[in-house]
């Protein structure tokens, strides 16, 4: 959990599982584990409605994340 507090990507299985669970509960991942960009962007628009710079940065990041659904996983 220290990694998450330091905004680092976790590399242990337990931490990865925790992050996936949080993403599923918040709607960032769908029931198949795929990234839901539209829902994530909608949440961002709500969360950062009063901060246009942060909103735009978040949208760009989330748009870039769409490609993860096209990556092969093992």
Tracing tokens 């909103």 back to the chain, one arrives at 55
Which tens digits make up the pLDDT trace of 40-71?
999 999 999 999 999 999 999 998 888 888 88
Indicate whether this model's pTM tops 0.75.
no
Q: Classify residue 59 by burial, with Cβ atoms within 10 Å: 0-12, 13-18, 19+.
A: middle
């Amino acid at each position: 959990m220290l990694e998450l507090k330091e905004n680092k990507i976790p590399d242990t299985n337990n931490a990865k599982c925790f992050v996936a669970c949080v993403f599923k509960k918040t709607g960032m991942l769908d029931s198949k584990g795929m990234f839901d960009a539209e829902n994530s962007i909608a949440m961002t628009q709500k969360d950062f409605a009063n901060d246009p710079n942060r909103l735009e940065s978040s949208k760009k990041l989330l748009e870039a994340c769409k490609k993860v659904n096209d990556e092969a996983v093992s």
